[in-house]
């Protein structure tokens, strides 16, 4: 279980990194935290000819809060950094809520938030957080910068809008509304495993009326996925058990998750409904408007 040989590059600047990607194209892989890439290479399921280690590029490791409360996360920000950051807890709390579910500390201390997004595992937490919070994803290549909307980013199993010559350099999460509440809930076989199914939810609530809703599921399709019909059922409804049950019923009816050796499709569909209720209850409990 050892990686195949490759040419190793450790550029000091972003431009150098982008040039390398431009030159080697599909035969190159960006190496960020390595917590997904290295095991794939060790199993020889991935064998890039060139590995571009972006770990030494200056300026990518910061969490920046903008003037209007938006939060920008750079490509070298580790999971663990966002779990402990007060800025994240205040301005992008859904990320902080997601983090305890991500793997284990020794993996979070190396794995990057953007790596997780770029990797696009359908059972991972961050892609769902992205879908629920709708940040702008900023990709750079030697030919320029692209801003990608969250809704356009995830294409399929481990497949995203990123081109082989691009680096996801930062993700800008919009300001967290004072009326917003959220939750991340999931069930995994073991603590720290990828989810069987999970949900990242963000609601805005006026009094006890839901004014907007974003429900993003992971482990429930070939990518993280939102369920717009359930969201619409929530908007305008009051925070109550009945409201959540109705949304859950729509979720269970509309999702058709794939089976695997860890859970059947029926189980996942059922679980998505259960987690809808539990997640929405948890989210609204925070603002003292428990169902």
Partner 1 sequence: MTADRLAAEESAGGSIVDVALTVNGRSAPVRVEARRTLSDVLREDVGLTGTHLGCEHGVCGACTVLIDGQPARSCLLLAAQVDGAEITTIEGLAEPDGTLHPIQQAMMQAHGFQCAFCAPGFLMSAVALLADNPQPTRSEIREELAGNLCRCTGYQSIVDGVEIAVRRMNGDSSGGSS
Partner 2 sequence: MTAPGHPQARENRSGLVGQSVRRVEDDRLLTGAGVFVADRNPDGVLHAVFVRSPLAHARITSIDVAAARRAPGVVAVITGAEMAEMTHPFPPFLMLPGLYTPLFHALSADKVRLVGDPVAVVIAESRYLAEDAADLVDVDYEPLPTVASIAEALSPTSEPLWAKAGGNVMMDHTDTFGDVDAVFAAADRVITERFDCPRQSNQPMETRGSLVEVDAATGHLTIHNATQSSHLLRWAVAALTGKQRTTTALKRFITNKQRRRAFFAGAKQFVGTNRDGLKEQDNAGPLAQLKKDRSFLGHMNKIAVGLLGKDDYPTVKAQDIGGGFGSKGPVAREDIALAAAATSLGRSVKWIEDRTENLMDGGQAREESLTVSIAVDSDGTFRAMRVDLIIDQGAYPGFPIGAPLITKMMKVMFPGAYRWDAFEIRSRVVATNKGRYIPYRGPWANETWARERMIDVVADALGMTPAEIRLHNMIGADDLPTSMVTGPSIDETMSTKQTLERALELIDMDQFERDRVAAAASGRRLGLGIACYHEAAPGPPEFWDCIHPGTGMLTPEEAHTTVEADGSVLVYTQQMPHGQSHETTYAQVAADELGVRIDDVTIVSGDTDRTPFGFAGTGGSRGGPIGAGAVRTTAREVRRQLIESAAGMLEASPDDIEIVDGNIHVAGVPARGVTVAEVARRAADDGASGDLHGAPFEVADVYNGAGDGGWSVATHVCIVDIDLGTGLVTFPRYLVVEDCGPIIHPAVVDGQVRGGVAQGIGAVLYERTTYDEDANLQAATYMDYLVPTAMEIPEIEVHHLETLSPGENDFRGVGEGGMVGAPAAITNAIEHALGARVTTQYLPPTKILELAGVIVPG
Residue 281 three-state SS: helix
178 is a site residue for partner 2 (CB under 8 A): no
User: Based on CB atoms, which residue is closest to partner 2, 186 or 231?
Assistant: 186
Instruction: Using CB atoms within 10 Å of the CB of residue 243, give its burial: 0 to 12 exposed, 13 to 18 middle, 19+ buried.
Output: buried
CB of 255 to ligand FAD, least distance (A): 19
Residue 144 sits in the site that holds partner 1 (CB under 8 A): no
- The residue from 147, 190, 206, 288 that contacts partner 2 (CB under 8 A) is 190
Binding span for partner 1 by CB under 8 A among 12-20, 129-137, 184-192, 242-250: 184-192
Choosing among partner 1, partner 2, ligand FAD, none, which partner's interface includes residue 51 (Cβ < 5 to 8 Å by kind)? partner 1
Q: Please give the DSSP secondary-structure letter assigned to residue 111.
A: -
Give 167 or 234: the residue with its C-beta nearer to partner 1.
167
In whole angstroms, give the CA distance from residue 10 to residue 179: 44
The residue among 221, 223, 269, 225 whose CA lies nearest residue 249 is: 269
Give the residue with the Cβ less far from partner 1, 109 or 222. Answer: 109
Cα angle, residue 173 at apex, residues 169 and 177 outer, rounded to 5°: 170
Q: Check: CB of residue 143 under 8 Å from CB of residue 237.
A: no
What DSSP line would sit under 140-182, residue for residue? EETTEEEEEEGGGTEEETTEES--TT-EEEEEEEPPPPTTEEE
Q: Are 247 and 230 in contact (CB under 8 A)?
A: yes
Among 65, 107, 158, 175, binds partner 1 (CB under 8 A): 107
* Phi, psi (deg, nearest 5) at residue 8: -100, 130
Interaction pattern, residues 234-273, with partner 2; x per rule: CB under 8 A: -------------------------x-xxxxxxx--xx--
Would you count residue 34 as binding partner 2 (CB under 8 A)?
Answer: no
31 binds partner 1 (CB under 8 A): yes
We find the least distance from the C-beta atom of residue 132 to partner 2, in angstroms, to be 21
> H or E element: which one contains 233?
helix 228-234
Q: How far is the CB of 54 from partner 2 (least distance, A)?
A: 24
Give residues in contact with partner 2 (CB under 8 A): 1-5, 43-44, 187, 189-194, 196, 259, 261-267, 270-271, 274, 278
Give residues in contact with partner 1 (CB under 8 A): 1-8, 10, 31, 34-35, 38-39, 41-43, 51, 53, 55, 80, 103-107, 109-110, 190-192
């Amino acid at each position: 279980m050892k990686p195949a040989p490759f040419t190793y590059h450790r550029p000091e600047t972003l431009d150098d990194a982008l040039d390398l990607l431009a030159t080697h194209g599909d035969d190159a892989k960006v190496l960020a935290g390595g917590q997904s890439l290295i095991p794939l290479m060790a199993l020889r399921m991935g064998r890039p000819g060139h590995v571009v280690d972006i770990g030494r590029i200056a300026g990518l490791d910061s969490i920046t809060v903008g003037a209007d409360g938006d939060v920008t996360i750079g490509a070298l920000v580790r999971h663990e950094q966002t779990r402990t950051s007060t800025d994240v807890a205040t301005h992008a709390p859904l990320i902080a809520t997601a983090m305890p579910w991500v793997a284990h500390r020794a993996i979070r201390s190396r794995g990057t938030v953007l790596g997780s997004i770029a990797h696009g595992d359908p059972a991972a937490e961050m892609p769902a957080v992205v879908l629920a919070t709708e940040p702008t994803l900023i990709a750079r290549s030697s030919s320029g910068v692209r801003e990608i909307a969250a809704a356009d980013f995830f294409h399929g199993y481990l497949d995203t809008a990123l081109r082989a010559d691009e680096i996801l350099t930062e993700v800008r999460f919009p300001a967290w509304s004072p009326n917003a509440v959220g939750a991340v809930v999931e069930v995994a076989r073991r603590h720290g495993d990828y989810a069987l199914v999970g949900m990242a939810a963000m609601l805005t609530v006026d009094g006890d009326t839901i004014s907007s809703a974003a429900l993003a599921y992971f482990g429930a399709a070939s990518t993280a996925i939102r369920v717009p019909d359930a969201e619409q059922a929530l908007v305008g409804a009051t925070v109550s058990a009945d409201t959540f049950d109705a949304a859950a019923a729509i979720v269970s009816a509309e999702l058709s998750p794939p089976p695997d050796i860890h859970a059947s499709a029926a189980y996942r569909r059922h679980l998505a409904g259960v987690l809808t209720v539990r997640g929405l209850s948890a989210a609204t409990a925070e603002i003292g408007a428990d169902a």
